[in-house]
Amino acid sequence: TAGTGRRVRDEEKMKTEMVTMRESSVEVVRGDFAILPCSFFTSSPLSRLNVIWTLAPFTNPESPIQVIVYDHGQVIEDPSLIGRVGFTGIPWSADIVLNDTQVSDAGIYRCMVNNPPETADPGIGELALTVLAPPSLPVCQWDGDVDMGGSVTLSCTVKEGTPTPEIHWEKLNPEEISLPINMEGDLSGSVQIVNVSSQTSGLYRCSANNFLGTENCYVNLSIYTPDSSSGILQGVLLTLSMSLVLLALLVLILWLHRTGQDGRWRGGKDDEDECYNEIRYTPSLMKRSFV
């Protein structure tokens, strides 16, 4: 009937009367300023106008803060935002500006406008602020067994970045190959390498990127192969046995030299024979010393 139609129209008028959010979401690149729009309509004088902006941060939605308040001509900002937030057209508009935006500014902003005695309920509007940021420097780590045949896990974690950065792992040398990655949540990705060999050694890169930028971290992996370690052992043994041979030779020469001198003491005429013997018998004596 005409009566209910008019009542519905009145309710619609009541609802649309106070607050209009001209945007339901706003995006800004970190560091830039953002205008958060909130329009209201009132036919009463503005002397008792009251505007409250609150923020439920995406990082901590359970503890909303009062961003800025306008009450009876006074402006009160949240202490953490002093100097960064302000009304742009109060009292005719409830729009605010947020300067030097930070990632922690992102969240749901709510604009509440009350202009007594116009309505008992305040008009409320909401908008989501997204703060875009390049990825932060990722952190590369490795864990596992770097002995031949062992398995190694490379992991990479990036703390922030909006939109969510994509994570990639690559082996850079001898040729660049991209590696299959297991994601653990949105911001962490790992690569498992089983049965490692000397070919596994090399430089690995994790990159985190979104359209605002790319950041990299690196892991330099060296696989210990049994060949190289037993090679060192063989080298040590070889040096040791060569020293023993030299020592034995030295002892032998000294001993022969002494027997030669003894001979000389015994009889001067056998000198030449003794010297001859010394040379002649050396090979057989050497052989005997190794038996």
Q: One-letter amino acid identity for 152?
A: V
User: How many angstroms separate the CA atoms of 278 and 256, rounded?
Assistant: 7
Element (H, E) at 128: strand 123-132
Which of these segments, 60-68, 117-125, 176-184, 195-203, binds ligand NAG (CB under 6 A)?
195-203
283 touches ligand NAG (CB under 6 A):
no
Which pairing describes strands 182-183 and 25-29: parallel, antiparallel, or unpaired?
Answer: unpaired
Give which of 271, 165, 248 is closest to 209, Cα–Cα: 165
Q: Judged by CB under 6 A, does residue 197 bind ligand NAG? A: yes
Residues 14-43 that bind ligand NAG (CB under 6 A): 33
Q: Which stretch binds ligand NAG (CB under 6 A): 3-11, 68-76, 84-92, 120-128?
A: 84-92
Could you give the C-alpha distances from 232 to 115, 223, 238, in angstroms and in order?
87, 16, 10
Using CB under 6 A as the binding rule, whether residue 75 contacts ligand NAG is answered as no
Residues 110-149 that bind ligand NAG (CB under 6 A): none
Does residue number 185 form part of the binding site for ligand NAG (CB under 6 A)? no
Residues 6+ apart with CB under 8 A from 160: 103, 133, 135, 136, 187
Which ranges of 69-175 would DSSP assign to H, the alpha helix? Answer: none
Per CB under 6 A, the list member of 16, 25, 60, 99 interacting with ligand NAG is 99
Q: Which of 8, 203, 247, 275 binds ligand NAG (CB under 6 A)?
A: 203
Q: Which of 86, 144, 260, 263 binds ligand NAG (CB under 6 A)?
A: 86
Q: Find out whether 190 and 155 touch, Cβ atoms under 8 Å.
A: yes
Residue of 80, 182, 220, 239 interacting with ligand NAG (CB under 6 A): 220
By beta-carbon proximity to ligand NAG, the closer residue of 115 and 200 is 200
Of 75 and 245, the one with the shorter C-beta distance to ligand NAG is: 75
Query: Dihedral, CA atoms, 29, 187, 142, 191, nearest 10 degrees?
Result: -120
Q: Determine contact, residues 67/54, Cβ cutoff 8 Å.
A: yes
Cβ distance to ligand NAG smaller for residue 113 or 219: 219
| Among residues 3, 83, 117, 174, the one that binds ligand NAG under rule CB under 6 A | 83
**Residues of the shown chain interacting with ligand NAG in the complex, contacts defined by CB under 6 A:** 33, 83-86, 97, 99, 195, 197, 203, 220, 222
